Amino acid sequence: MFSDRQLLLKSVEYRRQILSIIKASRAGHTGGSLSCVDILNVLYNRILRLSPETFHNPNRDRYIQSKGHSVEALYVVLADCGFFPVSELSTLNRFGSHLIGHPTRKVNGIEQNTGALGHGLSLSVGTAIAGKIDGRDYRVFTLLGDGELAEGSNWEAAMTAGHYQLDNLIAIIDRNRLQITGSTEDVNQLEPLDNKFRAFGFAVRECDGNSVPELVELLEQVPFEAERPSLLLANTKKGKGISFMENSVNWHHRVPNKEEFDRAMDELNAVAAAL
Amino acid sequence: MDLGKPNLEAFANAVRELARQDPSVLVVTSDSRGSGKLSPFGKEFPKQIIEVGIAEQNLVGVAAGLASTGKTVFAVSPACFLTARALEQIKNDVCYSDNPVKVVGISAGVSYGALGSTHHSLHDYAVLRAINNITVVAPADNLEATQAVLAAAKLRSPVYLRFGKKAMPHLPGNPADFELGKARWIRQGTDLVFVACGETVVEAFQAAELLAQDNFSAGVLSVHTIKPFDTQTILDVAGSVRAMITVEEHSVHGGLGEACAALLLEHGLAPKFKCVGIPDEYTVTGSQTEIFQYYGISPSGLAKTARKLLG
């Protein structure tokens, strides 16, 4: 098992790779990938009972990324975990590449094709119900963006998750509070998000979603309560880890130029050196 | 002609039979078990029916999640809501992700009659034909409905099954003649051919009988599988008759008629041709039968169109 320090170093390396592949392919969702990568790091390296060897095992834990646009974070983590060679990351978005700009089952390790918002929770509910029917002990994790919660299908799915008491379902919200137009609260108010999910039957917990120790501590406890789906409100920063990208709508899908990229690498190198 | 059951009921009976043999057969409903004739299924297999309430998007997403684990899943809801409101879930969660859900549109076409356009599905062939990785099936009678369900259950890829709600007469034929993707001859003819699908096949069959009284020889081809399209059978017959009339309970845009027209044009075949369906207008108020009659999707209406084409 990786130590906490190793996980912290991985988060830095993942951020380097995210920025590198976005810069190389000249496209990508920079801010959202940086906000959710610590969550993916903890899931794949500490929580999920899943590996390239067990990916087709019916008892494996499932991870479905509803906020598909943050695919760069997912590809980087999957490559690091051995689902496909790290060298393939450089083909992102290239003509004919299987590394498409949203999650695709063409890539080993990906459960469902996502990208249109508001789909992951229903898919996860169905997969979790199947687990209950079959008496399997796998868990289904899904990562939702906060902006995507305006899609009504999420709330249809949330109602069903509560109705069927799916304690094998864990939804994590990458609560970075920004979407492409601006603050989620200005666009179409989400708060009180915790109480909304509680009202739908979820057991809700909250943490710093960019804190590896906090994520580990909470995700090791799932389900948070018996006979209830779990909801982790992971409070993150869009663009986390790069000072000039943090909390900036401009970096929703902006690609760093050479100067910005070099500055970002310097910042990440300094973080790594301090670990 | 002997009157059978609604195709919807043939579907429900077939799924119940499948569930008796296989506990991995599941039905997912959106408050639609009553209208889907699935109440007996629910009573017999309470653990094999999953209710999500009136939420079609969730219905399809949940069905896709279930199917991803290897279950044989029928997602059942009125066709009008299923193929419009949940179209993105069908496109992405079922087709693009290749989760082999059987998407079942019930009370399809203008089955709901006077309930109006909110409850009609006259667009489903068009939208689903344009989506990759889905088989689209509109059975004509109980035989085709039952065989379509059994064949769909075996297929490890997405399928759309479309059923109406009125009792259907039995057309000639036997189960061994049914094959997904292969049009089925109901009646042979040498002067013209009706190329029909779904519940309009019986109207075409009865029109062919009327035409026989006038010494016109009319064939009837049931294109139960609209996608993949049986191009060879249609090309073969197009080259041997004077006229082709396509018949469908669907908009004249994007359905069976336009598929045939494009096929014939691409192959340089030019029999006299007429596409009969619902025109691009607010559908007249009435029962399914009245709507059919109004738009000429009836034995007398189709016979009249045929006589005109044949001169």
List, for residues B288-297, the tens digit of each pLDDT value.
999 999 999 9
Backbone angles phi, psi at A30, to 5 degrees: -65, -55
Our answer to whether residue B56 is catalytic in this structure is yes
How far apart, in whole angstroms, are the C-alpha atoms of residue B184 and residue B180? 10
User: In 3-state terms, what secondary structure has residue B297?
Assistant: coil
How far apart, in whole angstroms, are the C-alpha atoms of residue B28 and residue B50? 5
- Note whether B93 contacts A152, CB cutoff 8 Å: no
Kindly report the CATH class assigned to A4-274.
alpha beta
CB-based contact (8 Å) between B85 and chain A? Answer: no
B145 membership: H or E segment, kind and range: helix B142-154
- Note whether B62 contacts A152, CB cutoff 8 Å: no
DSSP assignment of B193-222, as one string?
EEEE-TTHHHHHHHHHHHHHHTT--EEEEE
Res A3 pLDDT > 90:
yes
Domains of chain B, first to last: 3-169 (3.40.50.970), 181-310 (3.40.50.920)
pLDDT at res. B276: 98
- Note whether B89 contacts A131, CB cutoff 8 Å: no
pLDDT at res. A266: 98
pLDDT at res. B1: 83
CA A240, A242, A243, A244 torsion-angle sign: negative
User: In 3-state terms, what secondary structure has residue B135?
Assistant: strand
List, for residues A255-273, the tens digit of each pLDDT value.
999 999 999 999 999 999 9
CA-based nearest residue in chain B for residue A103: B97
Task: Choose, from B9, B56, B199, B203, the residue flagged as catalytic.
Answer: B56
| Unique residue bearing structure tokens 């889907």 | B36
Nearest by CB to residue B58, choosing from A131, A133, A156, is A156
Contact yes or no for B71/A132 (Cβ under 8 A): no
Full pLDDT tens readout for chain B, 311 residues = 899 999 999 999 999 999 999 999 999 999 999 989 999 999 999 999 999 999 999 999 999 999 999 999 999 999 999 999 999 999 999 999 999 999 999 999 999 999 999 999 999 999 999 999 999 999 999 999 999 999 999 999 999 999 999 999 999 999 999 999 999 999 999 999 999 999 999 999 999 999 999 999 999 999 999 999 999 999 999 999 999 999 999 999 999 999 999 999 999 999 999 999 999 999 999 999 999 999 999 999 999 999 999 98
pLDDT at res. B311: 87
In chain A, where the domains are located: 4-274
Answer whether the bond into residue B100 is a cis peptide, omega within 30°: no
CB-based contact (8 Å) between B21 and chain A? Answer: no
- For the entire predicted model, the pTM comes to 0.97
Mean pLDDT of A74-94: 97
Shortest Cα–Cα distance, A157 to chain B (Å)? 6
List, for residues A16-64, the tens digit of each pLDDT value.
999 999 999 999 999 999 999 999 999 999 999 999 999 999 999 999 9
Shortest Cα–Cα distance, B67 to chain A (Å)? 8
Shortest Cα–Cα distance, B69 to chain A (Å)? 7
CB-based contact (8 Å) between B157 and chain A? Answer: no
